[in-house]
Structure 1
Amino acid sequence: MLRKELTRFRMAYKFALDEINTKINILKEEFNYIHEYNPIEHVSSRVKTPESIISKIERKNLDYTLESIRENIKDIAGVRITCSFVSDIYKVSDMLVRQKDVTVLEMKDYIKNPKPNGYRSLHMIVEIPIFMSDREIHVPVEIQVRTIAMDFWASLEHKIFYKYNKEIPKHLIEELKEAATTANELDLKMERLNKEVKVYKDKDSSESKPLMEMKMLPLKLLESFAGKSKN
């Protein structure tokens, strides 16, 4: 009976995901058409299965009611955004939370304050309105924003964690933490390289502007002469 009720209950979270994904897609298309650089590399989303929700109810020792689930489990709907650089993480998250129908309920910055195992990512719980045929519902969605390196490390750590049934040998835990440090160093290096490239690009752009103006001079003179001829 609970599983059947959960199936209907999950629909609102699916609609919330659709709304968030639409917002992200609009940002992606805007960057593709207007800007020269798109900070969003990849987006994935999911709604927890009824089995996964029930499992979390048991782990957290919650009441088997929809009210309890709604109040205590905020990650039923989840979106993961992968960016190229660390600075992009804050840029994208800021663009999302500044939208007037998005309310931030919680934010955890595991980039500035990594978890003990080395995990890094920016986690947000936001709430958005969903307009049904007869009512308006405010639904929470978890958004994780991370770099490619962070995502690669988290994916492998997750696989290793479950391969050993959550009992990872101590030496593997240490090596995973070292790998997280290496991934962070790579992110920092790529960020520096990106800034250097931008400086050179801006310099080339400023130097090429006078040259372009000189190239346009004959055309402007021709247009001016044509205008005088008509007069």
Structure 2
Amino acid sequence: MHRFETAEINEWKNFLIGYRFALNEMNTKLTILNEEFELIHNHNPIEHIKSRLKSPKSIIRKMKFKGLDMTQENVEANIRDIAGIRITCSFTKDIYAILDALRKQDDIRIVEIKDYIQNPKPNGYRSLHIITEIPVFFSNHKRWMKVEIQIRTVAMDFWASLEHKIYYKFDKEVPSHILEEIKQSAEMIAELDQKMECINDEVNLLKKQAEIVPQG
């Protein structure tokens, strides 16, 4: 292989490994936040964390779809989910508690928030999408790397997973009546989330009342 080709491959490897380091950094921060919540509030907001790094093939496919030249500058500017983390929570209020905690971190930049919980997508999809930037320290420089974080309840994640499987069983358009049923099921999921959160709030209130020692 020509030495210039080898140098170019190494540059791309170094470029992409930065996103892996960013994932490691963010996963560590989220683990610390979750354990801190347990110590202070006796509650772990995070049920599960899953991280992934977009493959080179997927990056190339997306760049071609956008009609952009395959340069590191273009990739960094136009693909913001190379590094991705999905967080599942028990309750909707946990989602916003995690967002507030991330906002308080002085070494995390919040670039963009898309709230599909308050404003669901037309198909009923609900989730909170956050584009963040986190510093990664290399041997001779520091780079701010983007990490997309998606936060949703277990119920929202269940719906999204099944919706994806159902949708891709069709080679062409999904029949309109099935799309409507999928949307209705998303509304049922939202009602379930709200109901379970109300039950949890009531249980917490009763627990606090039981802990109060009568005076006298």
Q: Is the structural similarity TM-score above 0.5?
A: yes
In our comparison, the structure showing a higher alpha carbon Rg is: 1
Instruction: Classify the secondary structure of the residue corresponding to 1:74.
Output: coil
Q: 1:178 to 1:70 in 2, by over 3 A?
A: same
Look up the match of 1:104: 110
Q: Return the offset for 1:46.
A: 0.4
Pick one of 5, 15, 19 that aligns with 1:9.
Answer: 15
1:44 equivalent in structure 2? 50
Match in the other structure for 1:219 = none
Q: Which runs of 4+ in 1 moved over 4 A?
A: 1-5
Preserved CA contact (<8 Å) 1:3 1:50: no
Q: Distance in 1 between matches of 2:30 and 2:123?
A: 30
Deviation at 1:74, TM superposition (A): 0.6
Q: Deviation of residue 3 (structure 1)?
A: 6.8
Change (3 A) 1:5 1:174: farther
Question: In structure 2, what is the Cα distance between the partners aligned to 1:198 and 1:99?
Answer: 28
Show the counterpart of 2:206: 200
User: TM-score by structure 2 length?
Assistant: 0.91
Query: Could you tell me which amino acid in structure 2 is paired with residue 85 of structure 1?
Result: F
> Deviation of residue 8 (structure 1)?
3.0
User: By how many angstroms is 1:31 displaced?
Assistant: 2.9
How many percent identity over aligned positions?
Answer: 55
Greater fraction of residues in helix: 1
| 2:157 corresponds to 1:148 | no
Deviation at 1:4, TM superposition (A): 6.3
Instruction: Note closer, same or farther for the CA distance 1:190–1:164 as it changes in structure 2 (3 Å cut).
Output: same
Aligned 8 A contact 1:122 1:144 in 2: yes
Distance 2:177 2:9 in 1: 41
TM-score w.r.t. the length of structure 1 is 0.86
- Structure 2 residue 189 is matched with structure 1 residue 183: yes
1:196 deviates by: 0.9
Q: Which one of the candidate residues 56, 59, 69 is aligned to 2:62?
A: 56
Alignment of 1:127-142 (within 5 A): 127-142=133-148
Q: Distance in 2 between matches of 1:116 and 1:166?
A: 19
Q: CA deviation at 1:169?
A: 1.8
- Say which SS state the counterpart of residue 171 (structure 1) adopts: helix
SS at match of 2:122: coil
